[in-house]
Chain A
Amino acid sequence: MKRYFAITAIGKDRPGIVSGVSKALYDLGTNIEDSSMTILGGEFAMILIVSTREEVDASDFESHLKELTDKIGLFIAIKELDESDVHSKKPSGIPYIISVIGTDKPGIVYRVSNLLASKGINITDLNTKVIPGETAPVYTMIIEVDIPQYLDVTILEEEFSTLEKEMAIDIGIKEIEVLEL
């Protein structure tokens, strides 16, 4: 039986983080199943899903990564996963893309995501960016969501238009077109 772990690490960006972490994992005999890495505000963050032999424990990761975390000041968290979580297929809603644009102000992410959560809509991807505007910075957010089949999208659109007026932002929603070839 294999065991699965999620490892998250964050630290000031510099060369050698990926090679350091992957060497420690290799030495431990783990296999990297999936990974995602990004840099924000000079901080490098990674999430890795790894599989190991039965006898490897969360504490083994800590001891193998300790030298590295001490040396380069990396924050690491380790969480064991069920195999069924790792390989589970997501529920089959309809993929939509929601774009939000408006002058930068607190609460945009909260108000939009809160509305989605209240409808049971799952966010599958979210990216934000502040771009320079004519008078003030403009906030843009692109969200991908999975809308359950039973949900009426026109109701969502109505609630979005209320939110648009309240917050003076623009919200667009459209089904993601997929070409099956």
Chain B
Amino acid sequence: MPTLPVLRYPHQTLRARSLEVDNVNDEIRRIITDMIDTMYASPGCVGVAAPQVGYPLRIFVIDVSRKIGPKKNHGLLALVNPVVAYSEGEKITREGCLSIPDFLGNVKRARKLIVMGINPEGKEVEILSQGLEAIAFQHEIDHLNGVLFIHRISSLTGDLVRRKSTPKDTKD
């Protein structure tokens, strides 16, 4: 179970637009497996995007069930070339990021969305997601566009806070 080192801001790979994946082959599946191992090896972590672990490719993995249990989410998901097809509503969540370990930010994002993309088997999929899982989708898709949560907060005093405790696994 190889885990990958996580790049930290201001590494330039985190600020670049990642590239589309042409072909979901064994090489891509190996990267996905390593990303999943890296996510599970990080306490409390429910999502990792490929550029965070040094691959400038449009891939992410998420597993919100790790935090909220099996309800209202799809569990472990890996998605290649994701596109948001529809979004609605607003929700503010306090987000942390492996690439910006010292801070948390209150970020406003859509509450519900439909994301299209390719799964690890190379099949096109369409996922309807809401709540914390939808937030996770948007955070990871931002990573693929070189955007970090600190770019989405409007106030440093209210919306950006120093981390006061280390992340923990809530559900495992």
User: Could you tell me which A residues sit within 8 Å of B by CB distance?
Assistant: 36, 38, 90-95, 124-125, 127, 144, 146, 176-181
CA distance A92 to B139 in the complex (A): 25
CB distance from B67 to the nearest CB of A (A): 7
A179–B164 contact, CB under 8 A? no
Contacts of A127 in B (CB 8 A): 158
| Cross-chain contact A180 with B45 (CB below 8 angstroms) | yes
Question: In the bound complex, what is the Cα–Cα distance between A34 and B47 (angstroms)?
Answer: 30
Chain B residues with CB under 8 Å of chain A are 42-48, 64, 67, 93-98, 104, 132, 135-136, 139-140, 149, 157-158, 161-162, 164-167
> Which residues of B sit under 8 angstroms from A179, Cβ to Cβ?
46, 64, 67, 93-96, 132, 135-136, 139
Give the CA-CA distance A179 to B42 in the complex, in Å: 13
CB distance from A40 to the nearest CB of B (A): 12
Q: Which of B98, B140, B161, B164 contacts A180 (CB 8 A)?
A: B98
Determine the residue in chain B with the shortest Cβ distance to A37: B157
Chain A residues with Cβ below 8 Å from B96 are 178-181
- Chain B: CB-nearest residue to A142: B158
Q: Which residue of A lies closest to B60 (CB)?
A: A181
Nearest-CB residue, chain A, relative to B104: A178
Check B161–A146 contact: CB distance below 8 A. no
Q: Please, how many angstroms separate the alpha-carbon atoms of A177 and B162 in the complex?
A: 15
- Residues from chain B with a CB closer than 8 A to the CB of A181 are 45-48, 95-98, 136, 139-140, 149
Q: Are A125 and B135 interface neighbours, CB within 8 A?
A: no
Find chain A residues with CB under 8 A from B157 CB.
36, 38
Residues B95 and A92 in contact, CB atoms below 8 Å apart? no
Tell me whether A177 and B94 are in contact (CB under 8 A): yes
Q: B48 to chain A: which residues have CB within 8 Å?
A: 181
Contacts of B93 in A (CB 8 A): 177, 179
Contact A93 B46 (CB under 8 A): no
Q: What 10 pairs between A and B have smallest CB-CB spacing?
A: A92-B165, A180-B44, A181-B47, A181-B139, A90-B164, A180-B96, A180-B45, A178-B94, A180-B167, A179-B95
Task: Given A127-B158, A181-B136, output 8 extra A-B contacts at Cβ < 8 Å.
Answer: A36-B157, A90-B162, A91-B164, A92-B164, A94-B165, A124-B164, A178-B94, A180-B98
Residues from chain A with Cβ under 8 Å of B104 in the complex: 178
How far, in whole Å, are A90 and B96 apart by their CA atoms in the complex? Answer: 17
User: Smallest Cβ distance from A32 to chain B, in angstroms?
Assistant: 14
Q: Write out the residue numbers on chain B whose beta carbons fall within 8 Å of the beta carbon of A178.
A: 44, 94-96, 104, 167
